[in-house]
Chain A
Amino acid sequence: MTARPGFLGYRRRDGRVGTRNHVLVVPTVICSSLVAERVAAAAAPLGTALPHLAGCGQLGPDMRLTHETLAAYCGHPNVGAVVVLALGCEQVIAQSLADAARHHGKPVEIVAIQSEGGTIKATARGADIARAFGRQLAADEREWCDVADLVLSLKCGGSDYTSGLASNPALGRVTDRLVDLGGSAVLGEVAEIMGAEHLLAARASRGETAAELIQIVSRVEAEARALGLDIRGTQPSPGNIRGGLTTIEEKSLGATHKGGERAPLEDVVPYAAAIRRKGLTVMDTPGLDVESVTGMVGGGAQVVVFTTGLGTPTGNPVAPVIKITGNARTARQMADNLDLDVSGIMTDSETLDRAAERLFDEVLAVASGKATAAERLGHREFAIHRRNPTI
Chain B
Amino acid sequence: MKSALVISDRDNVATALEPLAAGQRVELGDRALVIGEAIQAGHKIAIRPIPAGTEVFKYGSAIGTATRDIAAGAHVHIHNVASGRGRGDLAEAVPAGEPRLAEPPDSQSGAGGQP
Does B74 interact with chain A (Cβ within 8 Å)?
no
Instruction: Kindly state the separation between the CA atoms of A57 and B113 in the bound complex, as whole angstroms.
Output: 40
Does A93 interact with chain B (Cβ within 8 Å)?
no
Does B88 interact with chain A (Cβ within 8 Å)?
yes
Given known A-B contacts A162-B42, A347-B1, A348-B1, A246 and B88 have beta carbons under 8 A apart? no
**Once the chains bind, are A247 and B5 in contact (CB under 8 Å)?**
no
**Once the chains bind, are B15 and A249 in contact (CB under 8 Å)?**
no
Instruction: Kindly state the separation between the CA atoms of A191 and B89 in the bound complex, as whole angstroms.
Output: 17
Does B83 interact with chain A (Cβ within 8 Å)?
yes
**Once the chains bind, are B78 and A246 in contact (CB under 8 Å)?**
yes
**Once the chains bind, are B89 and A249 in contact (CB under 8 Å)?**
no
Instruction: Kindly state the separation between the CA atoms of A225 and B82 in the bound complex, as whole angstroms.
Output: 16
Specify which of B15, B43, B87 is in contact with A230 (CB 8 Å cutoff): B87
Find the B residue at minimum CB distance from A349. B1
Q: How many residues of A contact B (CB 8 A)?
A: 42
Given known A-B contacts A222-B96, A246-B44, A247-B82, A254 and B59 have beta carbons under 8 A apart? yes
Does A253 interact with chain B (Cβ within 8 Å)?
yes
**Once the chains bind, are B63 and A195 in contact (CB under 8 Å)?**
yes
Q: Which of B83-110 contact A (CB under 8 A)?
A: 83, 85-92, 96-97, 105
Find the B residue at minimum CB distance from A161. B42
Find the B residue at minimum CB distance from A163. B42
Instruction: Kindly state the separation between the CA atoms of A233 and B78 in the bound complex, as whole angstroms.
Output: 10
What is the minimal beta-carbon distance from A234 to any residue of chain B, in angstroms? 8
Specify which of A195, A221, A346 is in contact with B17 (CB 8 Å cutoff): A346
Candidate in A164, A224, A238, A244 with the most chain B CB atoms within 10 angstroms: A244
Does A86 interact with chain B (Cβ within 8 Å)?
no
Does B54 interact with chain A (Cβ within 8 Å)?
no
* Binary flags per residue of A175-198, CB closer than 8 Å to B gives 1, else 0: 000000000000000010011101
Does B29 interact with chain A (Cβ within 8 Å)?
no
Q: Which of B1-32 contact A (CB under 8 A)?
A: 1-2, 5, 7, 15-17
**Once the chains bind, are A191 and B86 in contact (CB under 8 Å)?**
yes
Does B64 interact with chain A (Cβ within 8 Å)?
yes
Find the A residue at minimum CB distance from B92. A228
Instruction: Kindly state the separation between the CA atoms of A282 and B94 in the bound complex, as whole angstroms.
Output: 29
**Once the chains bind, are A195 and B85 in contact (CB under 8 Å)?**
yes
Which size bracket describes the interface of B in this complex?
35 or more
Tell me which residues across on chain B come within 8 A of A325, comparing CB atoms: none
Does A248 interact with chain B (Cβ within 8 Å)?
yes
Does A30 interact with chain B (Cβ within 8 Å)?
no
Tell me which residues across on chain B come within 8 A of A195, comparing CB atoms: 61-63, 83, 85
Instruction: Kindly state the separation between the CA atoms of A276 and B39 in the bound complex, as whole angstroms.
Output: 46
What is the minimal beta-carbon distance from B8 to any residue of chain A, in angstroms? 10
**Once the chains bind, are A244 and B44 in contact (CB under 8 Å)?**
yes
**Once the chains bind, are B85 and A161 in contact (CB under 8 Å)?**
no
Does A250 interact with chain B (Cβ within 8 Å)?
yes
Given known A-B contacts A160-B42, A222-B96, A232-B115, A248 and B58 have beta carbons under 8 A apart? no
Tell me which residues across on chain B come within 8 A of A246, comparing CB atoms: 44, 56, 63-64, 76-78, 81, 83
Candidate in B40, B88, B96 with the most chain A CB atoms within 10 angstroms: B88
Specify which of B7, B83, B89 is in contact with A228 (CB 8 Å cutoff): B89
Find the B residue at minimum CB distance from A222. B96
**Once the chains bind, are B96 and A247 in contact (CB under 8 Å)?**
no
Tell me which residues across on chain B come within 8 A of A244, comparing CB atoms: 15-16, 40-44, 77, 111
What is the minimal beta-carbon distance from A54 to any residue of chain B, in angstroms? 26
Candidate in B7, B90, B115 with the most chain A CB atoms within 10 angstroms: B115
Tell me which residues across on chain B come within 8 A of A247, comparing CB atoms: 63-64, 81-83, 85
Q: Which residues of A contact B (CB under 8 A)?
A: 160-162, 164-165, 191, 194-196, 198-199, 218, 220-222, 224-233, 235-236, 238, 241-244, 246-250, 253-254, 346-348
Question: Which 8 A-B pairs rank lowest in CB-CB distance, beginning with the nearest?
Answer: A161-B42, A244-B42, A233-B115, A231-B86, A247-B83, A224-B86, A250-B63, A230-B89
Instruction: A195-B83, A242-B111 are known; give 6 further A-B pairs, CB within 8 A.
Output: A161-B41, A230-B90, A232-B105, A246-B78, A247-B64, A247-B82
Complex A-B: 18 CB contacts under 8 Å = A161-B15, A191-B86, A195-B62, A198-B61, A225-B87, A225-B88, A227-B88, A228-B88, A228-B91, A231-B88, A238-B114, A244-B44, A244-B77, A246-B64, A248-B83, A248-B85, A253-B63, A346-B17
